[in-house]
Amino acid sequence: MSKGKLEKFEELTAFPNSLELTDFQDARSQKPKGRWHSDIFENENPIVLELACGKGTYTLELARRNPDKNFVGVDIKGDRIWKGAKQALEEGLNNVRFLRIYIDHLDEYFAPDEVDDIWITFPDPYPRYSDRNNRLSGPKFLKIYQRVLKEEGAIYFKTDSDELFSFTRESVAKSGCKVHRIVENIYQECPNDELLTIQTHYEARYLQEGRSISFIKFSLPSEEISWELD
């Protein structure tokens, strides 16, 4: 019999590779901000985040391929994180952690320049106009990333949503970001790219439905982003 959400939540809080730090935590609990190298991973290897990581498929695969880097999967849904955290423990992946928080609180858990790169894979596109401020590539979130990401760090963004991809390109341009690479259809333009063709559960389903998968890699400007959504 499969485990229910409550059972997964309970197990997750006991996993040594997960940090259960939602906004409902004990206010006296010490957050890991500024301590990821010294206390959490206990090494000085680069730290890479996957935001809205879901079950952690990308986080795990990146960690397998890059044992000299540390990876943190971030999501608010504990029952999904449970799967990735459990898999990492079973495989003995010591360079993986999972953090259960709301992403718009990211700068409360990471110090300035503590993060080397950020991956965002298939986030909620929030198609309704009124929800645009929740899109992870909008100015609200780009400003948060500026507070934790090293100046030379990059953001890797994958989506199956044409609308979100168009929005992201516009947001990146208005924010003064530097674009390093754009791929409008990964499986047509670069089907042998080992990094971009790592598939999440949802990506495999999207491909079966005939959707195209788009990608953009960019870096943030050194000056503070000033524009806002209308």
Per-residue pLDDT tens for 156-175?
Answer: 999 999 999 999 999 999 99
- Taking a C-beta distance cutoff of 8 angstroms, is the pair 99, 80 a contact? no
Domain ranges for the chain: 5-16+46-219
Lowest mean pLDDT among 16-20, 36-40, 102-106, 196-200: 16-20
Asked whether residue 93 carries a pLDDT value surpassing 60, the answer given is yes
Contacts of 121 (CB under 8 A, 6+ apart): 50, 52, 53, 58, 157, 158, 200, 203
At which residue do the structure tokens 């880097």 appear? 69
Q: Output the pLDDT for position 162.
A: 96
Across the chain, mean pLDDT equals: 92
Residue range 86-94: mean pLDDT, rounded: 96
- Condensed to tens digits (0 to 9), the pLDDT of residues 13-51 reads 888 899 976 555 555 567 899 999 999 999 999 999 999
Active-site annotation, residues: 124
Contacts of 127 (CB under 8 A, 6+ apart): 161, 163
5-16+46-219 CATH pick, 3.40.50.150, 3.90.226.10, 3.10.20.340, 3.40.50.720: 3.40.50.150
Closest by CA position to 49, among listed 89, 17, 97: 97
Give the count of alpha carbons within 13 A of 59, CB side only: 34
Q: Output the pLDDT for position 25.
A: 53
